[in-house]
Amino acid sequence: MPKDYVNQNICPICSRKVEESDYLNELFSEEPEVNYIAHLVTHYRHNHIESWNRCWGRHGSRYRRNWFGDYDEEKAKVNERAKRQIIRKGKVILNQVGILPEHFARLQNTEPKTMEVARKYLTGVKVQDTLSGSTTVEFDSAQELTDKAA
Ligand SMILES: [Zn+2]
């Protein structure tokens, strides 16, 4: 069931369970969709962005020296990049579970550029209605292969 992605906090890109944050769960307790994508942004930053991970590894201070701004500024920038990549790479599942541009607008500091991407890909169209179950699965794995090759 696509809704399980939201209920169980599963990443639409790597299909792994996202580590839950009590802080976010409380902050967005009334908005499961917003809570879900807020968790995804943190997960994406830590698991899918290599340059961010390098900044916290053994030679982290060397990488962090290249930052222009401070931690919060840099984190906000990386978060915006993460949001856009989550939308592009996870759009099939995000559409299935009913994530809309409005949900991204509820997150902190969402830039107009990110909203543009959200409006382009999150159309609210139920992909499942037009594709058979097996086609959806094929589409997913094909997308994953493209991501790995990129
Ligand atoms: Zn993931």
Lowest mean pLDDT across 78-87, 102-111, 128-137: 128-137
79-118 residues labelled b (16+ CB within 10 A) or e (exposed): bbbbbbbbbebbbbbbbbbebebebbeebeebeeebbebb
Residue 1 — very low, low, confident or very high, per pLDDT cuts 50/70/90? low
Distance 48 CA to ligand 1 centre (A): 6
Helices (H), the chain: 3-7, 22-27, 32-47, 50-54, 60-64, 71-96, 101-105, 112-121, 127-130, 133-149
pLDDT surpasses 80 at 147: no
Q: What pLDDT is attached to residue 94? A: 96
Confidence tier at 10 by pLDDT (50, 70, 90): very high
CA 120 to ligand 1 centroid distance, Å = 22
Rounded to the nearest angstrom, the distance between the alpha carbon of 123 and the centre of ligand 1 is 22
Q: Which residue has the higher pLDDT, 144 or 25?
A: 25
What residues contact 131, with CB distance under 8 A and at least 6 apart?
Answer: 139
Q: Is the pLDDT of residue 64 over 70?
A: yes
- The predicted-structure confidence for 111-130, as pLDDT tens digits, reads as follows 999 999 999 999 976 554 44
- CB < 8 Å & 24+ apart, contacts of 19-23: 19/43
145 band by pLDDT with thresholds 50, 70 and 90: very low
CA-to-CA distance for 12 and 33, rounded, in angstroms? 13
pLDDT at 137 over 50: no
* Ligand 1 center from residue 46 Cα (angstroms): 9
pLDDT single digits (tens) 13-61:
999 999 999 999 999 999 999 999 999 999 999 899 877 777 777 777 7
